[in-house]
Amino acid sequence: MLDQRGFDLWADGYDVTVGLSDEENTYPFAGYKEVLGGIFRTVMEKRGAVVLDIGFGTGTLTAKLYENGCVIYGQDFSERMVEIAAAKMPEARLYQGDFAEGLAEELRERKYDFIVATYSLHHLTDEQKVGFLKDLRERLAEGGMILVGDVAFATREDLERCRREAGDEWDDEEVYFVADEMRKDFPELVFQPVSYCAGILAIPGRTGE
């Protein structure tokens, strides 16, 4: 698994690397653009939405939301990624910090219409994912929603099939979402498959928030 230094070094070539995998329909980024597009369309249904992006990387998604009138907050592990994204979104509130250790204190002070995470939470264990997502859900405004776009599968069988097909390319250090298993803690979760190895998970806020 990449440490902060690794992410910093990869930052400038990240978009190219992801784009090649998406265009060639290969693991792990097959469906990447469609995943981001689906989340973008959902967020844009609310005019001027306040959005928190967890692991925003170079700002591929959030820069588009920013350009279309959303108020952007974010946290990323890599200082270099923060620099690249900040150049695209000078008025966004972006913070560097390891989300494996939780949300930056500055980001805990307000509520968000949408909390998005694209290709970032697979760096957490399943137990860490559940705890972090429960914490994030408490940060949602009334009617808010968490949208996770990532390497994700409907069932464990689908994941194992992809693992076999990926062969040596499979990354054993990353922990991918299995929607059926996540519903034990988030029964209201909705999973939208986008490719054979990616999809969008939507978790609404608690009723009455």
Per-residue pLDDT tens digits for 144-201: 999 999 999 999 999 999 999 999 999 999 999 999 999 999 999 999 999 999 999 9
- Burial classification of residue 116, based on how many CB atoms lie within 10 Å of its CB (0-12 exposed, 13-18 middle, 19 or more buried): buried
| CA distance readout (Å), 9 to 14, 17, 79, 93, 181 | 9, 13, 10, 23, 34
pLDDT at 16 over 80: no
- Summarised one tens digit per residue, pLDDT across range 127-145 is 999 999 999 999 999 999 9
pTM: 0.89
Q: Quick one: tokens of 181?
A: 């298993």
Q: Output the 3-class SS for the chain.
A: CCCHHHHHHHHHHHHHHHHHHHHCCCCCCCCHHHHHHHHHHHHCCCCCCEEEEECCCCCHHHHHHHHCCCEEEEEECCHHHHHHHHHHCCCCEEEECCHHHCCCHHHHHCCEEEEEEECCHHHCCHHHHHHHHHHHHCCEEEEEEEEEEEEEECCHHHHHHHHHHHHHHCCCCCCCEEHHHHCCCCCCCEEEEEECCEEEEEEECCCCC
- Summarised one tens digit per residue, pLDDT across range 29-86 is 898 888 988 999 999 999 999 999 999 988 988 999 999 999 999 999 999 999 999 9
Distance CA 203, CA 133 (A): 9
pLDDT of residue 25: 82
Q: Domain 4-204, what fold?
A: Rossmann fold (3.40.50)
Q: Where are the domains of the chain?
A: 4-204
